[in-house]
Amino acid sequence: MDQEIIIALTKGRILKETLPLLAAAGIEPAEDISQSRKLIFETNQPDVRLLVIRGSDVPTYVQHGAADMGVSGKDMLLEAGGADLYEPLDLNISKCRLMTAAMVDRALPKGRIRIATKFTNIAKQYCAQRGIQADIIKLYGAMELAPIMDLADMIVDIVDTGNTLRANGMEPRDLIADISSRLVVNRAAMKRKNQRIKQLIESLRQAVEAAK
Ligand code: AMP
């Protein structure tokens, strides 16, 4: 189907909060995504299919047009940096903050500092903007462990309640960005399938407003 719309989603917390918005916009998966190992799902709309992929892959799928639209955390979009995407709607879900954090009451070293993070591009940009000299250390999880084990002086990570930081003797320092999930759209698809995509954006916009 030429006018088919493919929407890229992520499993977990974001999916849970996205499905009600999609449902309010008239799109419901034909089966329970959380109970399935499939990656592609039909919906009640004959022209809409859903992909379920890793959050960090959503900007890539949408930028290359392998998906027409997607739901992506702003953190993933900032990290993807150059991805040339249309970002028409803040879905106002999965809200958190991207922050620097360090051990409680421990001053940062005077010269070059070590920053552990999975957001290496964001960390580089943060340092460049503030003239901070840093070695960026890429980690894939449990960033809080790095300062404890003296692998790093500071981390850049997602903070929600701050409980994870506190439980590990750390404190938030600088706010880098407020994060929420965004609707992203491939630029070519936006032109080629304009009517249907505009209609979907508008339905989602109304669902977001109603949820406020
Ligand atoms: P908290 O202890 O409430 O500050 O939560 C911190 C941890 O939860 C972080 O290390 C994140 O991995 C995860 N987290 C919290 N909120 C989000 C979110 N909106 N999206 C993705 N991960 C999150």
- Using the predicted structure, report yes or no on whether residue 47 has a pLDDT greater than 60: yes
Residues 15 and 120 in one domain: no
pLDDT at 11: 86
Asked if 85 and 59 count as a contact pair (C-beta separation under 8 A), the reply is: yes
Centre a 10 Å sphere on the Cβ of residue 6 and count the other Cβ atoms it contains: 20
Domain around 90: 5-94+180-211
Tally of structural domains, the chain: 2
Stated pTM of the model: 0.94
Q: How far is the CA of 183 from the centre of ligand 1 (A)?
A: 20
Q: What is the DSSP pairing of strand 40-42 with strand 48-53?
A: antiparallel
The ligand 1 atom at the shortest distance from the C-alpha of residue 159 is 4
What is the average per-residue pLDDT within 153-171?
98
**With the C-alpha atoms ordered 68, 72, 78, 79, is the resulting torsion angle positive or negative?**
negative
Our answer on whether the CB atom of 127 is closer than 6 Å to any ligand 1 atom is: no
Our answer on whether the CB atom of 159 is closer than 6 Å to any ligand 1 atom is: yes
Residues 128 and 161 in one domain: yes
Our answer on whether the CB atom of 160 is closer than 6 Å to any ligand 1 atom is: yes
Residues 108 and 169 in one domain: yes
- Is 140 buried (19+), middle (13-18) or exposed (0-12) by CB count in 10 A? exposed
pLDDT tens digit sequence for 65-95: 999 999 999 999 999 987 799 999 999 999 9
